[in-house]
Chain A
Amino acid sequence: MIALMLKDWYVLVRQSKFTMAIVMVFTCIGFMSSTVYYAAIGTIVCVMLPLTTMAYDQMNHWDQFVIGLPIERKDVVKSKYVLALLALSVSILMLLVFGLVFFLLKRITLETILFMIWIQLFAGMFFISVNYPIVIKLGFERGRIWYLIITIPIVSLAGILNSVVNSNGVSISASLGNFIYLIIPILMLIGSYFLSVRFLENKDY
């Protein structure tokens, strides 16, 4: 699995500098406007990176090459999920760094930062859980249609909720108790991983 992570690392370093800049911009805008929506977009862009590597793999036939190597198929899936979680961690780290800066500037409260982290974890894991099995099963070309069908309504809903919350003057707040709800995307993520393994193990090239 380390070999696969190393390969994706080389690919991401070469291909994703611009994407990381976008993530930083969205996270920054999120804090400047105290809008969770932008921060969530930053997260989704971040966890899209491993999905992008899957697209590159399929476009350039690495996905077939790797099956000929002495690597178990479940390790191929595992590497993508680990990479996705690493990407999610990077986006959370960025959020923390920006959050602390804005907190020190007295622009936001610690509760807002906590809430944003909660939303990011939820959105990120949900996105990974839904999209990764689809792309593994159908390939990126066909899978991206489903990806759009699923992602656009979720992002739109998040935007609508955000504007409703803002327009009604409800303050953004969170307590540590809210994190218990993360059990839902965590369970989804575990289920999604096993589903993806099953899809790849039954896949014929």
Chain B
Amino acid sequence: MDAIRCIGLKKKYGDFSLYLDNFVVPQGTIVGLIGENGAGKSTTIRLLLSLTSADEGSIELFGEAVDRCNVRHKDLIGFVMEDAWPSAYLNAIQTGKVMEKVYTRWDATCYDKLLDRLSIPKEKLFKQFSHGMKMKLVLAIALSHHAKLLILDEPTSSLDPMTRDEILSILMEFTREEDHTVLISSHIISDLEKISDYITYIHQGRIILNSEKDQLEQDYVLASCTHQQSFDLDPSTILGRKDTPYGAKVLMKCEHVPDFMQRQQFNLEEMMILLAKGGTIR
């Protein structure tokens, strides 16, 4: 079963339009959502959490179509969003008491343990927290009501490397349960490389890549050659390219790479940058 399925989902804001057709997050996996600023990652997450309504299309959560008021499904979802915070005038204990009345399966013991594990002050007001500390508290809330699905928008931004690592460990622990799923967007692509099973790349409101992470390394190649050699390549095989003073780096599918090209190791970040450039020559 899929934890999330978006069918023909459209949302338009002025000049920007998001279109997600058959975007799927399989249950029991961690899906990393990548893309540049304004690509549509946050809009996707807002649509999933019903903060905004789609112009067209539908969303299914856990195999069921959801309407704008999906209270029953939201009880199974933990979330983190950049511009959505608990009340600034409550401390962590008071916030916990409020959440106890919000979620049907709130686990006060789990919440308390997470506050300790993430070194979150219990008596300090939320408005006195640093940005990183705020993020940690929201994560603690998301993880304390036995959610089946976590939807996280930039949860590790503004966190120090130690805390980021701790958060990633917690997320991996979360997915030990086979029906637990995580959709996570981040600009820190190295984080996603560590934990994701699937990578979905949104560019200008469209999904241009949706694949198992391990499969990416098998299917795609970053190959280098001289500028002249690169101009002789079939343009339809070039998924992205970058010109350097020493030659050209070209992203291609494995089967399209000619023998004269030198294959290189690449990471997701390089791939994202090259795909965004989309074959244009700089």
A79 to chain B, nearest CB (A): 12
| Closest residue of B by beta carbon distance from A14 | B89
Does B117 count as interface, using CB distance less than 8 angstroms? Answer: no
Residue pair B90, A205 in contact (C-beta under 8 Å): no
Q: Which residues of B contact A62 (CB under 8 A)?
A: 85-88
Q: Cβ of A204 and Cβ of B97 under 8 Å apart? A: no
B131 at interface by CB-CB < 8 Å: no
Task: Give every chain A residue within 8 A of B74 (Cβ-Cβ).
Answer: 68-70
Shortest CB-to-CB span from A194 to chain B, Å, is 16
| Docked complex Cα distance between A11 and B89 (Å) | 6
Cross-chain contact A61 with B85 (CB below 8 angstroms): yes
Could you tell me if B88 and A56 are in contact, using CB atoms closer than 8 angstroms?
yes
Q: How far is the CA of A100 from the CA of B137 in the complex (A)?
A: 48
Interface size on B, residues (CB 8 A): 34
User: Which stretch, B23-31, B50-58, B107-115, B173-181, touches the partner chain A?
Assistant: B50-58
Q: Roughly how many angstroms separate A73 CA and B100 CA in the complex, as a whole number? A: 19
**Does A111 count as interface, using CB distance less than 8 angstroms?**
no
Q: How far is the CA of A69 from the CA of B144 in the complex (A)?
A: 13
Contacting pair B51 A6 (CB below 8 A): no
Cα–Cα, bound, A139→B79 (Å) = 24
Residue of A nearest to B48 (CB): A68
B interface residues with partner A (beta carbon < 8 Å):
46, 49-53, 68-69, 71-72, 74-75, 77, 79, 81, 83-90, 94, 97-104, 126-127
22 A-B residue pairs with Cβ-Cβ distance under 8 Å, sorted by A, are A3-B98, A6-B97, A6-B98, A7-B87, A56-B87, A60-B85, A60-B126, A61-B85, A62-B87, A62-B88, A64-B51, A64-B81, A65-B85, A67-B50, A68-B74, A68-B77, A69-B103, A70-B75, A71-B71, A204-B52, A205-B46, A205-B52
